[in-house]
């Protein structure tokens, strides 16, 4: 496979907080002639558990590798890590994800209570209906419900008033450390990469993240300019990290639309992931 074709290694389906089914996402990827994709749903492998089925369905022209986006805590901040190429049957990883699912539900109940105290009464059943296809329900589903109920006029207003990290009804969920997440993915045979650092990570944190087990950085992303991509490629060289990338497609849940395939991520990024796996 030459390096001229592109990949998209950051995609979400309705099994977390995207709007596309896995089949719809694969269909779009095939139409765009992507060389490879990775479905990286939040804290769940519900889509990639059927990886062999999706590979057969996609055909031989497009590769699909296992992926996930994990929520972790670092310096009292919420960060995201992307795992690639791991075994979807790994027992410790699956047990961890079951506990993560329970924490997500607990967090949503707490945010519903915070909203109730502000006079915004929403039922659990209503929320679960919005998140009916998801194995990792979260803020996007609650935000969508608030818009549906016309409590607010837009998703931006939801996060500004209620659910943003500094807003009145935000409840922190994560207690998973970077080291724990890295250990889980690496022990399952995978590679772990820092997701969209431009939004969440101070530059000086990167050496510490590397020391805790992070192996790469998402240098290509739909919210980053080419100059930011070049900067994180430089960071990757300095820390002996690989660089990866993807569109972070959530379907129609975000205002920018589907996004899949809009970020030209070279095939060499997938090759780099495999090189790290083989060296382990």
Our count of domains for the chain comes to 2
Residue 184 lies in a domain: no
Q: What is the DSSP letter of 105?
A: H
Chain segment 33-83, per-residue pLDDT in tens: 999 999 999 999 998 877 778 777 777 789 999 999 999 999 988 899 999
pLDDT computed for residue 50 by the predictor: 79
- Asked which of 128, 163, 198 is the last residue of a domain, the reply is 163
For 241-263, letters b (16+ CB in 10 Å) and e give bbbbbbbbbbbebbeeebbbbeb
Q: Residue 280 and residue 270: Cα distance in Å, rounded?
A: 16
Same domain for 50 and 118? no
pLDDT computed for residue 36 by the predictor: 95
Same domain for 22 and 73? yes
Query: Between 4 and 97, whose confidence is greater?
Result: 97
Residue 182 lies in a domain: no
Using alpha carbons, select from 89, 88, 84 the residue that is nearest to residue 36. 84
Residue 208 lies in a domain: yes
Name the pairing type of β-strands 6-11 and 265-266: antiparallel
Using a 10 angstrom Cβ sphere, with 0-12 exposed, 13-18 middle and 19 or more buried, the burial of residue 61 is exposed
State the CATH number of the domain containing residue 157.
1.10.150
pTM: 0.91
Same domain for 78 and 101? no
Using alpha carbons, select from 176, 220, 203, 157 the residue that is nearest to residue 77. 176
Residue 170 lies in a domain: no
Chain segment 142-201, per-residue pLDDT in tens: 999 999 999 999 989 999 999 988 899 999 877 899 999 999 999 999 999 999 998 789
- Asked which of 148, 163, 178 is the last residue of a domain, the reply is 163
Chain segment 203-229, per-residue pLDDT in tens: 999 999 999 999 999 999 998 899 999
pLDDT computed for residue 255 by the predictor: 61
Name the pairing type of β-strands 63-74 and 6-11: unpaired
Same domain for 82 and 130? no
């Amino acid at each position: 496979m030459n390096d001229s074709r592109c990949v998209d290694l950051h995609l979400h389906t309705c099994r977390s907080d995207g709007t596309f089914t896995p089949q719809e996402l694969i269909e779009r990827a095939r139409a765009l002639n992507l060389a490879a994709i990775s479905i990286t749903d939040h804290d769940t492998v519900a889509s990639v558990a059927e990886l062999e089925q999706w590979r057969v369905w996609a055909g031989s022209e497009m590769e699909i590798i296992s992926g996930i986006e994990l929520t972790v805590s670092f310096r009292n901040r919420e960060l995201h890590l992307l795992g690639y190429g791991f075994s979807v049957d790994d027992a410790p990883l699956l047990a961890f994800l079951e506990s993560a699912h329970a924490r997500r539900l607990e967090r949503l109940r707490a945010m519903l209570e915070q909203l109730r105290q502000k006079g915004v009464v929403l039922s659990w059943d209503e929320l679960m209906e919005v998140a009916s296809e998801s194995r990792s329900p979260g803020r996007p589903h609650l935000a969508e419900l608030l818009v549906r109920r016309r409590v607010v006029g837009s998703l931006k207003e939801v996060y500004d008033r209620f659910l943003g990290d500094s807003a009145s009804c935000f409840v922190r969920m994560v207690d998973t450390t970077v080291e724990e997440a890295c250990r889980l993915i690496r022990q399952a045979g995978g590679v772990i990469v820092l997701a969209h650092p431009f939004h969440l990570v101070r530059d000086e944190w990167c050496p510490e993240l590397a020391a805790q087990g992070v192996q790469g950085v998402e240098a290509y992303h739909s919210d980053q300019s080419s100059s930011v991509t070049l900067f994180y490629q430089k960071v990757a060289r300095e820390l002996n990290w690989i660089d990866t990338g993807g569109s972070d497609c959530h379907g129609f849940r975000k205002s920018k639309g589907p996004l899949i395939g809009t970020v030209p991520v070279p095939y060499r990024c997938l090759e780099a992931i495999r090189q790290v796996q083989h060296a382990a």
